[in-house]
A and B are shown apart, each in its own frame.
Chain A
Amino acid sequence: MGCDMSLLEIHEPGETPLPHAGEGALAVGIDLGTTNSVVAIAREGVPAALHDAAGHALVPSIVAYAEDGRVLVGDAARELLAAEPTRVVSSIKRLMGRGSADVRTVAGVLPYEIEPGSGETDMVKLRIGGRARSPVEISAEILKALRARAQAALEKPVERAVITVPAYFDDAARTATRDAARVAGLEVLRLVNEPTAAALAYGLDKGSEGLYAVYDLGGGTFDFSLLRMDKGVFQVLATGGDTALGGDDFDRAIAERMLAERQRDGVIDRVDETAIKRALALARQMKEQLSPRDHTSGRLELEGKPSFHALTRPEFEALIAAAVGRTLDIARAVLADAGVGAAELQGIVMVGGSTRVPLVRQRVGEVFGKPPLTDIDPDEVVALGAALQAESLTGGGDTLLIDVAPLSLGLETMGGIVEKVVPRNTPIPVQLAQEFTTYQDGQTAMAIHVVQGEREMVADCRSLARFELQGIPPMTAGAARIRVTFAVDADGLLTVSAEERTTGVAQRVEVIPSYGLSHDDMAEMLYDSLDHAEDDMIQRLLVETRVEARRGLLALDAALAKDGALLSDVERADLDGARSRLEAAIGGDDRDEITAAAEALEALSKPFAERRMDRGIREALAGVAVSDLERRVGE
């Protein structure tokens, strides 16, 4: 091999390059992002993002339902945000595949009206522009816009696409993404994990070999993947992430600080949908300005009441330190999972707009001991990789992506314990089986409950599906041999089947995730019966608690700056400790924890407050003669 003898080109079966299947067979790569989306095409191994008339590659993932019935996507939708915030949806990706009961676990504020309803699917719905709309419908609008852009740029129909999803997307979210593409008239050639796509763009571009990590911090999701690149093979070794952690959290921290500052200064705000959206939009601008600059300021006007807010980069970094720390914890866990040391990495590929934040780059560099790779535009790199994969899939390319199941898949057994059938990081596609037996004499049916997640108890994992294997012939307990098979396809989607082996009674289900859209229901959207008002309320209370806590922090900081000398070093250290515990709690989603930390800080700062008050009185009395004082007292 390797000598100059390639007079004949010989192809393995299945590897034969297919002729381009005529006109209309163009396949694009789409990065359907939380904040921005990009569509790209690759030709002859060279990928390029497709631009609009103004030359922008990024389509803001914002959808507006205008009063006249038009649906606007991208910059046009953003323009409507200030005037009619209730008709505009952003960051819808955070809700893909989510059930209404899940919404409370989605980090942060959801400035939308959540729709109550009834029906068999428990998919979350938003009331936008007077109608209930599912995340699938809303995402489909973004995909339609991307498809239209591609058709305009390429002057050909576009019907097929590779679409990227966060590696950590679960079965429900993957199914929802596929459904959205179908609604938009796109056939999905493959769902590819975002970090894998990014690695593909880097790997093919640079001809890299060895171990690489991809650190992908987008608007709403964080993924960290470890890959090996070896002669055109991209093998994912381990992956981890958080589907509710990203740049939106940075915006939110700034927005809450601004609302707290207003409250401190005596401005009474109604913290409603409009207020949150306005504050978030300003926060985002300020965050972006703090990448090239070390201080910024903004003007926030709510209900005709303006306020001005200054923010330095160190202040911003203190606000986001906890969230950035969480990404690094996840990264370390992924390396440990694969048994790889940081020093073995050839490079760390940075993906996602949020990796432009200097603190993120700095901390990643510190933890891995080398500067991260940032030379491909972090906003486009995923779409470019997807486009390369789309070309490879339709044109018979030579690269090979071997991806893994990001989350363990298992079954409920006695006592609510999870028996894992497909451990996380198993290469896909894969088909694995496990045998179970009956536990009662004469038992003729067995409930099969499929779950996804790493925890030991069913209650802590995601429920994907339930079905019942019936018609088991009556036998003594433990005699039946029920074989349950999990098949995960190359898109990461699961099918489960069960069979009684002594008699051959079989049953197969395609797992329709409990919170996804069932396929028959694609057209008529049914609502669920859960009480969404409560979820809404929980989110609202959380925001209010955070705002209140930040106000306390600001007041304390002002007092410390003025009268810090009243404290001993030990007292100051205790106070600083309690202060950072509160800051960490604000970074989390536990309202009780925030309240507890705020109360602890308040208790600890009480002596300080008293001393300040004493000093205040002394100062007021300074220079007054004792006799005067006595006289006054006597009056």
Chain B
Amino acid sequence: MDHFARLGLPAALDIEPAALDRVYFASQRKWHPDRFVSRPPEERAKASTEAAALNDAYRTLKDPLSRAFYLAELCGVEMPGDGKTIDDPDLLMEAMEAREALGDADTPDAVESLAAQALQGKQETLESLASLFLRDDKPAIRKALLRLRYLDKFADEARARRTNLERPAS
């Protein structure tokens, strides 16, 4: 059973966080091992398995990025294996320029504005993905996902750099 089906949701990119929480909590009310403490061992084992599968489904679908990758996998989109490779020349160029800009940014505000750009790019790419999935345009989905993964990583690096800049010199 795929993660969407397990939670009774349609396999789509757009999921309301509140709706996801609602179905997840309802399912956990039914299967969480705490509900089975005084039950026979076989029922407890089943509950534990179900609850574990629910948690896996929830954490996969909760984050929009991991949800997009999971949906792509369900749709049969092939991604580069090692999870780090960028094989799109345009994206590679963008990534190199952005990294240079981040290296040059030496105030928290400058870093913040780069991080904001990355987050906005992430948002736009996520929005464009929804229609790509509808059209089942696999090469475009793949390209968009690689860009998402890069932007996400860049935002993390920017956050780390900002934390470093904000730390009072000691």
State A401–B32 Cα separation when bound (angstroms): 9
State the interface size on chain B (CB cutoff 8 A): 27
Q: Does A13 contact B (CB under 8 A)?
A: yes
Q: A394-B37, A490-B33 are in contact. Are A428 and B25 (CB under 8 A)?
A: no
Q: Is B48 an interface residue (CB 8 A)?
A: yes
Pair B52/A14 contact, Cβ less than 8 Å: no
Contacts of B47 in A (CB 8 A): 14
What residues on A are CB-neighbors of B52 within 8 Å? Answer: 429-431, 487
Nearest A residue to B21 via CB reads A230
Instruction: Please indicate the chain A residues that have their CB under 8 angstroms from the CB of B170 in the complex.
Output: 581
Interface flag for A462 (CB, 8 Å): no
Q: Provide the bound-state CA to CA distance between A541 and B6, in Å.
A: 58
| B49 adjacent to chain A (CB < 8 Å) | yes
* Residues in chain A near residue B51, CB distance under 8 A: 429, 490
Q: A9 near B: Cβ within 8 Å?
A: no
Indicate the size class of the contact surface on chain A: 20 to 34
Q: For B159, what are the chain A residues with a Cβ–Cβ distance below 8 Å? A: 336
A388–B59 alpha-carbon span in the complex (Å): 28
Which residue among B33, B37, B43 has the maximum number of chain A CB atoms within 10 Å of its CB?
Answer: B37
A–B complex contacts, Cβ < 8 Å, 18 sampled = A12-B30, A14-B31, A14-B43, A15-B30, A231-B25, A233-B28, A392-B34, A393-B37, A400-B32, A400-B34, A426-B55, A427-B59, A429-B51, A429-B52, A430-B59, A432-B56, A489-B48, A490-B34
In the bound complex, residues from chain A placing their C-beta under 8 Å from that of B53 are 431
Question: In the bound complex, how far is the Cα of B56 from the Cα of A427, in angstroms?
Answer: 8
Tell me whether B4 is interfacial, beta carbon within 8 Å.
Answer: no
* CB neighbors of A among B8-58 (8 A): 21, 25, 28-39, 43, 47-49, 51-53, 55-56, 58
Q: What is the 8 Å Cβ interface bit string for chain A, positions 393-408, against chain B (1 contact, 0 not)?
A: 1101000111000000
Candidate in B28, B29, B30, B34 with the most chain A CB atoms within 10 angstroms? B34
Bound Cα distance A428, B33 (Å)? 10
CB distance from A326 to the nearest CB of B (A): 14
Residues of B within 8 A of A400 (CB): 25, 28-29, 32, 34
* A83 at the binding interface (Cβ < 8 Å): no
CA distance A19 to B29 in the complex (A): 19
Expressed in whole angstroms, the Cα–Cα distance for A453 and B133 within the complex equals 37
Chain A hits for B35, CB < 8 A: 14-15, 396
**B-contacting residues of A (Cβ < 8 Å)?**
12-15, 18, 21, 189-190, 230-231, 233, 235, 336, 389, 392-394, 396, 400-402, 426-432, 487, 489-490, 581
Give me 4 other A-B pairs in contact (C-beta within 8 A), A233-B28, A394-B37, A394-B38 excluded. Answer: A392-B34, A400-B34, A428-B55, A430-B56
| Closest Cβ neighbor of B39 among chain A residues | A14
* A389: B residues at CB distance < 8 A: 34
Q: Are A490 and B48 in contact (CB under 8 A)?
A: yes
Query: Which residues on the A side are within 8 Å of B56 (C-beta)?
Result: 430-432
When C-beta atoms are compared, the residue in chain B nearest to A336 turns out to be B159
- Count of CB-CB pairs between chains A and B under 8 Å: 72
* Chain A residues in 8 Å Cβ range of B33: 429, 489-490
Chain A contacts for B34, CB-based, 8 A: 190, 389, 392-393, 400-401, 490
For residue A389, which residue of chain B has the nearest CB?
B34
Which A-chain residue is minimally distant from B49 (CB atoms)?
A431
Q: How far is the CA of A348 from the CA of B30 in the complex (A)?
A: 30
* Alpha-carbon distance between A489 and B38 when the two chains are bound, in angstroms: 16
Query: Do the beta carbons of B29 and A12 come within 8 Å of each other?
Result: yes
Q: Is the CB of A230 within 8 A of B48?
A: no
Q: How far is the CA of A402 from the CA of B31 in the complex (A)?
A: 11
Q: Which residues of B contact A431 (CB under 8 A)?
A: 49, 52-53, 56
Return the chain B residue nearest A15 by Cβ: B35
* Nearest chain A CB to B170 CB, angstrom units: 8
Inter-chain CA distance A221–B98, complex, in Å, is 42
Contact B25 A21 (CB under 8 A): no
Question: Whole-angstrom distance from the CB of B160 to the nearest CB of chain A?
Answer: 10
Alpha-carbon separation in the docked complex, A13 to B39 (Å):
12
Residues of B within 8 A of A392 (CB): 34
Q: Whole-angstrom distance from the CB of A511 to the nearest CB of chain B?
A: 16
Interfacial chain B residues near A18, Cβ < 8 Å: 38
Give the residues in chain B near A487, CB-CB below 8 Å.
Answer: 52
- Option from B29, B31, B37 in Cβ contact (under 8 Å) with A190: B37
In the bound complex, residues from chain B placing their C-beta under 8 Å from that of A190 are 34, 37
Distance in angstroms between the alpha carbons of A393 and B43 in the assembled complex: 15
Q: What's the least CB distance linking A21 to chain B, in Å?
A: 7
A14 to B43, CA, bound (A): 9
Cβ B29 vs Cβ A426 within 8 A: no
Is B29 touching A15 in the complex (CB atoms < 8 A)? yes
Write the chain B residue with the least CB distance to A192: B34
A429 to B34: give the CA distance in the assembly, Å: 10
**In whole Å, how far is A590's beta carbon from the nearest beta carbon of chain B?**
14
**Complex Cα gap A393–B56 (Å):** 24
Residues of A within 8 A of B37 (CB): 189-190, 393-394
Residues of A within 8 A of B49 (CB): 431
Shortest A16–chain B CB gap in Å is 9
CB distance from B7 to the nearest CB of A (A): 13
- CB-based nearest A residue for B51: A429
Whether the pair A427, B32 counts as a contact (CB closer than 8 A) is: no
Q: How far is the CB of A591 from chain B (nearest CB, A)?
A: 19
- Which chain B positions have C-beta within 8 A of A21? 38
Residue among A231, A396, A431 having the largest count of chain B Cβ atoms under 10 Å: A431
* Residues 135-156 of B at the A interface (beta carbon under 8 Å): none
CA distance A542 to B88 in the complex (A): 55
Contact check, A429 vs B43: say whether CB atoms are below 8 A apart.
no
A426/B59 in contact, CB under 8 A: yes
Residue of A nearest to B47 (CB): A14
- Which chain A residue lies CB-closest to B30? A12
